[in-house]
Chain A
Amino acid sequence: MNNTSDLGIVSYGSYIPGNFVTGKNIEAAQEKFGSDIYKSLGVFQKSVPSIDEDTTTISVQSGSQAIKRFFSDSKSNNKNDISCLFIGSESHPYAVKPTGTMVKQALGLSDNLSMADLQFACKAGTQALQICFAYIGSGISKNGLAIGSDTAQSRPGDVLEYTAGAGSAAFLVGTQNIIAKLLGTASVATDTPDFWRRPRMKYPEHAGRFSGEPAYFYHIALAAKKIMADLKMKPKDFDYCVFHTPNAKFPKMIAKSLGFTPEQLKPSLVVDKIGNVYSAASLIALSSVLDIATKGQKILMVSYGSGSGSDAFAFETTSLLEKKRKTWKRFLRNQIESMKEVSYHTYIKNTE
């Protein structure tokens, strides 16, 4: 889709829980000493939620920051204009009762609200973003809030244990006072069984190396090529690229194969410190870029959700981004810097 009207990101918030467990400690717990699995994945530590946190509470954290920033200098903004809320996660606390209901209540949003929870593995957050853009673009809503959050579960002993982390990112979208304009968006979806979880099961199943080429790489490439064709843009036309981060290796590989440089990718990569935050992953990576981007810069973001699908977005930053950022606090890097180490035992207790 080519977007010529003013539609874009108004503000965003991110939240990483304040604890981490190291890859080294996970390796010790798995009794795979010297295997260096975490090194090969490039994920040296992953975020661990507090025992009183879950997907709902971390969504409130990121959503609260996005809303605070929404008000930061624009007197014309009104919380009641947020009339759609979509939250994507693999760890919604209820199978029936949307996370959005509690989040909406805690954030004090209007009762006039379109809202539902989404699940599409790690792309649920970006799908929420795309849906919000559609609501705004169609005129149904003036402002929308899209949140991707996860407090991911992984089976002790499984390789996913090295990467399954916790985090949340919230994006407030609209047509006025935008900090990054939406240039276009495209999505792909197929039936590719690389990762799934049946309802009564606690942990997901995954298909090993099958989640590589036919899954992650295929779908991201498909969506990336579609959006670039729609917009008649090439990798060199972008200042930054953002890809889903199941580990630190895959985004580097897909960036290279699509023709992006390491410099275009680097600002988005925080996965080595927080792990794969699933439905928040691509949005967190995008936040990382928006935290440092200057005006007039173009960003390509392509997420990936197992099962499978990808959402692609192209943004161009406005002069308002740097202006607003001056009044903001608690950036992603500040949160990551203040994380404290906890033991493997605490990590297991907190994510039970």
Chain B
Amino acid sequence: MKKKQLIKKATPFLFISPWIIGFVLFTAGPLILSLIMSFFDWSIFGNPSLIGLDNYVEMFTQDPQFWKSLLLTLKYAAIFVPLNLGIALFLAMLISQSIRGVKVFRTIFYLPAVVSGVAISILWKWILNGDYGILNYLLSLIGIQGPKWLVDPAWALFAVILASAFGVGSMMLIFYADIKNIPIELYEAASLDGASPTGQFFRITLPIITPTILFNVITSMISAFQQLTLVMLLTEGGPLKSTYFYGMFVYNNAFEHHRLGYASANAWIMLIIILLLTSFVFKSSSAWVYYGTELKTAKGGKKK
């Protein structure tokens, strides 16, 4: 009988063992290895030598680019997260209306998020071209002389933010799913009491979807800090390093300057920063997130 019991207990683990092994080999293992590497002077060639905390000390005291890239990425995240959240929420509200053809719009709004990062970069490189780009052409139709988006250091960051708005589709979908779950009784009751649509939005919709907002804030914050593909292909960190995000800083340290130990240290500092910010957001969430019980009666969002 012991054997049978053992097999019974072991079977679930056997089933998930491929995933566990994959996780250990490809995620946890490299994670720990990179932590170890960050204490070494580890070049691509030659032998690594243990230097303790020297990489971290160098990063904070002798490398001005570290601070520049960090502040730049923080600035980018500070603009990107609320902007994307706003756009996603706005679009989600739009597609939760019961109008004819809303399903078509749902697909159209989600489509850009499906396109690969590389394709998006190439696309936007042409749209943002100073002389032949479509964006400047459209602006010229309303009489504005568009700047050279990818050449002028003052505008390049904004150009990257613009291009990264393409990924808003997934957040929009998550918002939409949550909005759809809000029971209509709440809206009906509110409109009976004379609440305007805006009032309904701010007093009913917004509070109820705060858990989703929390989720989206955290995930988009994490992806903002890790932004690399777009910036590498669109601007290569330029012009004049005005879009030299932290991700590029780490990548270049590893593959241009061949300093794997230093790059690992960089990556771990980014991990710690994201960890701190995320836990801060979580802590603050008790103040503004409302985990009400959901009444599952009729489906659907707003119905006029």
Pair from one complex: no
